[in-house]
Structure 1
C-alpha cells in the first residue's frame, strides 16, 4: 500500500473548472481503476488543491496514471488551469515532520427526505452519474451526525429539512466508509443543483416497483428501501466531562 500526495497551484479564476473536471473525469476514472481518495483540500484563497491517493503498489499507481494520461484532451484542459504542481509519495515520516496515517474510517450521512406529497428527494452526483440517490456526504471534524446531514442536504439541494430519526447504518468494507441514514421531511427552500457536485435534484414518487428505474446501485437501493419502511434507531450526540446532551432521537416505529 502506498500513498501519493498531489499539490496543485491553481489560477483562482479557474478553480470551479478545475474542480468540475476532477469530479467529472479524474475521480471516477481513478476509483474505477482501484485507487482510493484519502482526502482532498482547497485552501481559503482558492489557489491551491491538495489530494492524497492510496494505491495497492507502485506498479498499480503507474498503470492507473498511464491509462489516465492517454486521454490527452482532458489532461491538457486540466493542466491549463494549473500554474505549478508537485507530487510526492508519503512514508511514515511526512516531509514537514510527524507521522502520516490514512484515516482508519470515514463517517458519512444520507437523508431520505419526503415532501407533502410523499415524494422522495433524489440527486445525481457528477462522479456517480449512472445512478440517482438520496442526498448526503461525509461528516466533517467536530460535527454531529445531525449537523452533517442538515449541511449536506442544504449544500447539495438547497433544501432545509426536519429530521425524524435514523433508519439504518451501512458499512462499506471496501472503502472504509460507514453511512448513517436519516429519514426526514422537507421544511423550506427551493430545490437546485450544486455546482461541481449535483447535476440533477428533484422529488420523485418512489415505490418498491419503480425504485430500480431511479437508483441503479444495489447498496443505495437497500438503504432507500429500509428508509421507506422505517424502523427507527435511537441516537444521541453528547459531550463528556461534564456530560452534556446535544441531541437525541428516541427509538420508535413508524408505519407508512
Structure 2
C-alpha cells in the first residue's frame, strides 16, 4: 500500500470556502478515479491559520501516479476547479493570499500488524 498526506495551511476566514470546495469538487473526482480517502482533519485556529490535512490510500505508488494523471486529464474536473478559482479571485490570489502552504508527501505506517 502507498499512503499520501496532503497538508494545507489555510487562513481562518477561508476554511469554510476551502472545505466546501474539497467536498464538492475535489473529493468526488478523486473517488471517481480510484482514490481512497482514509480521513481529512483540521486543527483549531492558531493565530489566524488552520492546518487541514488528508490521508489517502492507494494500492501502490504506480496506482497513485495513474489516478493523479486521470484526475488531471478529467476535463470536467479541470473546468470545475478553474471556475472555482476564478470565483475566488483567481488561482494566483488564492495561492498567495489564502493558502499559506501546501505539502504533499508519502507517509509510512508504524503500527505492526496485530494477529487477532
- Compare CA radii of gyration and give the structure with the larger one: 1
Q: Cα 1:67–1:8, aligned 2, differ >3 Å: closer, same or farther?
A: same
Structure 1 runs of 4+ with >6 Å offset: none
Larger relative contact order (CA 8 Å, sep ≥ 6): 2
1:59 aligned onto 2:62: yes
Task: Determine helix, strand or coil for the equivalent of 1:19.
Answer: helix
- Contact 2:3/2:58 (8 A) holds in 1: yes
Question: Could you say which residue in structure 2 is the equivalent of 1:50?
Answer: 53
Once the two structures are superposed, the pairs formed by residues 219-230 of structure 1 within 5 Å of their partners are none
The counterpart of 1:87, out of the listed 87, 95, 104, is 104
- What is the RMSD computed on CA atoms of the aligned residues? 2.4
- Contact 2:37/2:55 (8 A) holds in 1: yes
Offset of residue 73 of structure 1: 5.8
* TM-score between both structures, scaled by the size of structure 2: 0.70
After superposition, the C-alpha distances for 1:212-238 in whole angstroms (9 at most, x for unaligned) are: xxxxxxxxxxxxxxxxxxxxxxxxxxx
More helix by share: 2
- Contact 2:7/2:53 (8 A) holds in 1: yes
Count, aligned residues: 95
Tell me, in whole angstroms, the C-alpha distance in 2 between the residues paired with 1:29 and 1:84.
23
Once the two structures are superposed, the pairs formed by residues 1-256 of structure 1 within 5 Å of their partners are 1-45=1-45, 47-70=50-73, 71=78, 74=81, 77=85, 80=94, 81-92=98-109, 99=110
Give structure 2 stretches of 5+ with no counterpart.
none
* TM-score between both structures, scaled by the size of structure 1: 0.34
- Contact 1:90/1:100 (8 A) holds in 2: no
